[in-house]
Amino acid sequence: MASSATTCSSVLHLLHNDTSTSSLLSPKGMHLRSSSFSLLSPRRTSSPSPMIQFSPKGFGSANPLFVATAEKKKSPFQTEAVRQLTGSVTKTEGFRFAIVIAKFNEIVTRPLMEGALDTFQKYSVREEDVDVVWVPGCFEIGLVAEKLGKSGKYNGIVCIGAVVRGDTTHYEEVANSTASGVLSAGFNSGVPCIFGVLTCENMDQALNRAGGKVGNKGSEAALTAIEMASLFGHHLKE
């Protein structure tokens, strides 16, 4: 503390006695007329001494402690020139769809199917342009979906099922195999195959997603099928 006081006293004494800075002082000798002041090196040389300057924001020269953010250069990449493709849910004329649905857990899968059919109707897909194919369980969905896709009759396929966890690892095996089968069906057929299979911890979760308080995932799958069919049919033609 003593060292700091001595240093400050020396600096003020220097400023008071230095004829080059005396003009900055008021008659009282202790108040600066400018909003800026400099701490000068005690030794005078022919070259300017290093100094630290402080300027309140908005007065005098720019404050060196506040550096303005550099203006971002405009990218040469013009987004206006990018062609953005998206499917439409309103242009459904001429599209045909199939629903592959598992009989197992029909108390869940049937409401899912009804939700899908209701959505197709709302979006102007004719009843005669939708076929429903029942399979024994979720494990068989992928095989049938791929067969339908390769037939060339459909623009989108909705895959519906319900896998509910039990006391064994059978749940994981069926759920993983079903998801892999639906994905492979789309890749191998070139037709969008939409995953509308529920994988739930218990029956309450499944029913809540089949028209219950969480909504109807069959309806969501049908809407996705319409959008993907539009994307493929209008923009991604071979």
d(CA 160, CA 176): 15
CA neighbor of 94 nearest in space, from 196, 236, 229: 229
Point out the residues that are catalytic.
170
Tokens describing residue 207: 């029913």
Task: Give helix 217-234 / helix 106-122 axis angle, nearest 10°.
Answer: 50
d(CA 46, CA 163): 87
The tokens 């759920």 sit on which residue? Answer: 175
Q: What is the CB neighbour count within 10 angstroms for residue 128?
A: 7
Q: Are 198 and 218 in contact (CB under 8 A)?
A: no
d(CA 84, CA 189): 25
CA neighbor of 131 nearest in space, from 225, 48, 67, 45: 225
Backbone angles phi and psi of 13, in degrees to 5: -65, -40
101 DSSP β-pair partners: 134, 160
What is each CA distance from 37 to 6, 55, 66, in whole angstroms? 19, 8, 17
Tokens describing residue 16: 């008071």
